[in-house]
Each structure stands twice: as C-alpha cells, then as structure tokens.
C-alpha cells in the first residue's frame, strides 16, 4: 500500500468519522425497534371511565385551505359527542377565498344547533401557534382537540380517546395518523411508509418505555392545564408542537399514545410540498433542540429519558452528515483504492451497510406489518424509500444549517387538495414553487454518475448498489421537484379503482 499524504489521511478520517456517527444513529434506530417489539403488545387502557363525558373544545387552525376546509368542518360536525359539551373553533388566518367557504360551512352547522364559531385574524402573528393561543382565550372547556385542515376525524374518535384522561396525570393523548391517499402515487406511498415508521415504531417505543414523545401538531387532545403549566404556545420555533411537548413533559405531565385510534389525513402529493414540509419539521427540530436540550439535561430525569431526548432532537443532523459524505465520495474512492480490501470492508463499508440498510429495512417493515395485511408488498418500495431518504439531505441540510445559525423564516404551510385516492392530480391553486434545491439535486445525480464510474474502474463492485441509491434518489427528487408544478395544473381521473 502506498503511503497516504496528510490531506488524504485527514479526508479519510473525516469520512470514517461521518460513517461512525451515522452508524451510531443506525444503532439507535435498532434500539427503538427493539423497544417497540418488546412493548408492542402492551395494553394501554383507561384507568376508569368518565361517568359524564367532560367538555371538549375542538380547534381547527387553517390558513388558505380552499380545497379541504369544507371537508374538515363537515367531518367535525359529525363527531359523536354530547352537543352541550362540545365547542368547535374554526381559527382562520386565510387571505383567500377560504374565508367565505369556511364561514358558509360554519353557518350550516350553526343552523343544526352545533356550538361552532368562526374566528378570523387579519394577521399571522405566531402563525399556527399564535392562532391556537388566540383560540384558547375563548375556549370554554378543559380539553382541547386539535385538527389540521387535511384531517378527517372518525365520528367516534373522542369516545375512544377521552376516557384516558380519567388519569389526572395525563396531559396529552395522541392518535395515529392514517393516510387517505396512500395509493395516490409512488410519492405518497413512500411518504406513508416514512410516517408509519415514526407513528408506529418510534411513538410506541418511546411512549410505552417511559421516554418522552411528542404531540404531532394534530390529531391529539390536550388537557388545558398541561398547556398552561408548560408556558403555553410559543412561536420561536417552527415546530411549536414539539417544543410544547417537551416543555409539558418537563413540567411533569405524562403523554399517552393510542396507535389503535386512527385519524385519516391527506399526504402531500407534490414533491416540492413534501420537501417544504420536511424542511419545516427539520429546522423546527433543530431550533427546539437548541432551546430545550439544556433544560432536559438539567432536569432530574432518568438517564434513559435524557439520552433518548437527545437522539430525538438531534437526529436531523444526519442530513448534513449524509450530504457531506456524498460530496466526499469521489475523492475518498480514489484514496480507498490504495487500502487493502479487508480494511476497506470492515472499517468503512460493513458498519454503514449493517446500521443503515438493515436498520431502515427492519424499522419500516415492522410498521407495515403492524398496520396492513398486504405488508409484504411494501418490500419492493424499500430501495426507493432509502434513495428518497438520502436525496432529502440537500433540502434538509439547508434546514439544519438555518436552525443552527438562527436564520429566521416564516411558517410555510403544506398545500392540500382534498385528495381522496380517486383522483390523480390536482389543480394549480397552491402548487409548490420550484427552487434552486432541485437544480442542486440534479447536479448531485450527475455527480454520482462519475462516482459510480470511478467505483467500477477500481473494481469496487460491491459498493455500486449503495452508490446507485444516491444517484436514483437525487435524480427522482430533482426531476419531480422540477416537473410537478407543471403536472399540478392538470386534473386527471384515475382509470382504475384505488386500493383502500
């Protein structure tokens, strides 16, 4: 083996360091999967039943939701709950025709004797957190059920959830998101698997093993005191739900997760909308980590809670690491051809393969097996799932950097179109805009053509499938980001029924 220069050794050390950190994150995913498998059959029952159901205020924060606002309000109007103990607030910050649609839908329910009010702010101070806090000022009841505009709650959701609050220490009950348009496209199918992994495996593992877990911003019920004692809604992060969740649990409140109670919702159908959502969640988690982690480590909490909270709030750093690793691939390949194959495999390749590929596969397949009879059909989506997860590193690394340096941006809503699984595309009213990120993703796809060619030339054939994930992911994400704003201007009915 030829002697390596100091810059080459430095580059290789940096690369191996990145692999080590990503392997640690992969090990954490294995650990969460182990906790899930240990606790998945635990029965979480209410400690008692209310003799008389308590009052509930339903808050519907909306902003320019023209396509879905009527569906949302109609579904909430069908909730099976005593009318004298139910209040509905439509918290509308819209600036478009959504206002008139929402007001008309509210009027129809008022005529039926339902206690529902339309609350409009002519500003967006605090964005969603500001709207929720504004609504609390006129909330009549102790329990607050929050639903985003793209959700369609089943009529019995409150009956199935409220009795858990007979335990006076429970501050929040979270239900599992379902997916109305799971089969709409390849993109929505991939998103559904991503979310199922979080909502089934992570939430179950954390909540039932005594770790902190978070309110997902919607499809959850809060005890008003748990909000107030945590300091209320704040808007200094883009993930006001994650922030309040940790503050509330630090204040001593316990949360409960109900995976058996499904509340269907609409998945983003555009790549740019999906990336915008991911950017907001990633940046908000970084902002929350900076704000909350010092308090977590100062708090008198078990070490397992502190460690899990740290992994939970810092896991998005992986996007920055993956992007750096991707950029270093080509120069590192040139260095690695000088290293004997035994060292190359066991020092660099094997940990990445085991901790990334296998961890991801087991993690997401476990969620599919728990939810769907046809879970084995999800196996074929795993390569593209991993490819898309990798390709998001450009979009999300930007979010991580913005969160770290404190760069402030507004709350960008995720467009919804009232998709039902029976229509293929949507109309352009809220079509996502193209950004420079798509061009960078396509450049990375081209870059990996050269990386793959280099791997072939140095006979590193075993690594080519791994490199193909990078190329395919960047190409898929970049092309869809550029073309979907065009396709969204069409409305194409499906030619065949869509599976439920």
Residues 227-237: pLDDT tens digits?
999 999 999 99
CA distance 474 to 149: 31
What pLDDT, on a 0 to 100 scale, did the predictor assign at position 496?
38
Q: Are residues 266 and 368 in the same domain?
A: no
Can you give the pLDDT at residue 359? 79
Give domain status of residue 15, yes or no: yes
How many domains is the chain partitioned into structurally? 2
Phi-psi region of 100 (alpha: psi -120 to 50; beta: other; left: phi over 0): alpha
Tens digit of each residue's pLDDT (9 = 90 or more) over 148-159 = 999 999 999 999
Within 94-135, strands assigned E span 116-120
Q: How far is CA 380 from CA 90, 144, 341, in A?
A: 41, 40, 31
- The tokens for 445 are 């796809």
Q: Which of 270, 291, 324 is the last residue of a domain?
A: 270
* pLDDT at 492 > cutoff 50: no
As given in the structure block, the two tokens for residue 466 are: 């791994």
CATH of the domain at 196: 3.90.550.10
Can you give the residue range of the structural domain that contains 373?
Answer: 6-37+316-487
The confidence band for 387, taking pLDDT boundaries of 50, 70 and 90, is very high
Confidence of residue 422 (pLDDT cuts 50, 70, 90): low
Q: Tell me, what DSSP letter sits at residue 51? A: S
Given a cut of 90, is residue 297 above it in pLDDT? yes
**One domain, residues 251 and 337:** no
DSSP 187-254: HHHHHHHHHHIIIIIIHHHHHHTT------SSSEEEEHHHHHHTT----SSS-HHHHHHHHHHHTT-E
Residues 251 and 117 in one domain: yes
| Calpha distance 286→236 (Å, rounded) | 12
Percent of the chain scoring above 70 in pLDDT: 89
Global pTM?
Answer: 0.92
Is 296 within a domain? no
12 and 144 in a common domain = no
d(CA 375, CA 371) in angstroms, rounded, equals: 8
Residue with structure tokens 């209310």?
50
**Residue 414: its pLDDT value, please?**
72
Instruction: Provide the pLDDT confidence category of residue 493 given band limits of 50, 70 and 90.
Output: very low
Q: Which of 235, 270, 305 is the last residue of a domain?
A: 270
Average pLDDT over residues 399-428: 73
Domain membership flag for residue 49: no
Q: Is 224 exposed, middle or buried (0-12, 13-18, 19+ CB in 10 A)?
A: middle
Taken in order 63, 65, 70, 73, the sign of the CA dihedral is: negative
Residues 260 and 361 occupy one common structural domain: no
Question: Per-residue pLDDT for 309 more than 50?
Answer: yes
Q: Point out the residues that are catalytic.
A: 93, 241
Residue 94 to residues 70, 122, 197, 229, 358: CA-CA distances in angstroms?
A: 14, 8, 33, 30, 45
């Amino acid at each position: 083996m030829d002697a390596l220069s100091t810059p080459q050794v430095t580059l290789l050390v940096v690369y191996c360091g990145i692999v080590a950190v990503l392997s640690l994150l992969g090990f954490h995913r294995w650990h969460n999967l182990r906790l899930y498998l240990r606790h998945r059959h635990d029965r979480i029952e209410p400690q008692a039943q209310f003799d008389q159901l308590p009052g509930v205020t339903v808050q519907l924060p909306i902003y320019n939701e023209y396509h879905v606002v009527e569906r949302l309000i109609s579904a909430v109007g069908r909730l099976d709950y005593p009318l004298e103990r139910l209040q509905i607030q439509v918290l509308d910050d819209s600036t478009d025709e959504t206002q008139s649609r929402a007001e008309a839908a509210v009027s129809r329910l008022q005529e039926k004797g339902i206690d529902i009010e339309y609350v409009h702010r002519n500003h967006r101070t605090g964005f969603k957190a500001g709207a929720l806090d504004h609504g609390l000022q006129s909330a009549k009841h102790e329990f607050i059920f929050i639903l985003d505009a793209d959700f369609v709650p089943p009529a019995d959701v409150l009956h199935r959830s409220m009795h858990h609050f007979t335990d006076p220490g429970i501050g929040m009950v979270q239900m599992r998101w379902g997916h109305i348009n799971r089969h709409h496209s390849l993109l929505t199918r991939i998103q559904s698997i991503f979310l199922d992994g979080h909502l089934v495996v992570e939430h179950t593992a954390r909540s039932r093993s005594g770790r902190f877990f978070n309110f997902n911003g919607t499809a959850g019920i809060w005890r008003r005191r748990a909000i107030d004692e945590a300091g209320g809604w704040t808007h200094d992060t883009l993930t006001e739900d994650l922030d309040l969740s940790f503050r509330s649990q630090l204040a001593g409140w316990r949360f409960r997760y109900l995976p058996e109670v499904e509340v269907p919702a609409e998945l983003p159908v555009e790549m740019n909308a999906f990336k915008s959502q991911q950017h907001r969640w990633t940046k908000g988690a970084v902002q929350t980590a900076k704000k909350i982690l010092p308090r977590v480590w100062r708090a008198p909490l078990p070490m397992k809670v502190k460690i899990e909270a740290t992994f939970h709030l810092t896991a998005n750093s992986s996007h920055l690491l993956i992007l750096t690793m991707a950029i270093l691939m080509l120069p590192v390949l040139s260095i690695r051809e000088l290293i004997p194959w035994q060292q190359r495999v066991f020092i660099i390749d094997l940990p990445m393969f085991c901790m990334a590929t296998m961890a991801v596969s087991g993690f997401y397949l476990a969620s599919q097996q728990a939810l769907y009879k046809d879970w084995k059909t999800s196996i074929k989506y795993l390569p593209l799932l991993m490819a898309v997860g990798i390709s998001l590193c450009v979009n999300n690394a930007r979010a991580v950097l913005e969160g770290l340096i404190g760069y402030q941006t507004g709350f960008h809503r995720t467009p919804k179109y009232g998709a039902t699984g029976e229509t293929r595309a949507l109309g352009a009213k809220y079509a996502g805009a193209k950004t420079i990120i798509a061009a960078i993703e396509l450049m990375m796809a081209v870059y990996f053509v050269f990386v793959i060619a280099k791997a072939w030339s140095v006979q590193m054939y075993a690594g080519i499938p791994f490199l193909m994930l990078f190329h395919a992911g960047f190409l898929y994400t970049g092309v869809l980001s550029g073309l979907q704003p065009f396709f969204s201007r069409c409305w194409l009915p499906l030619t065949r029924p869509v599976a439920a």
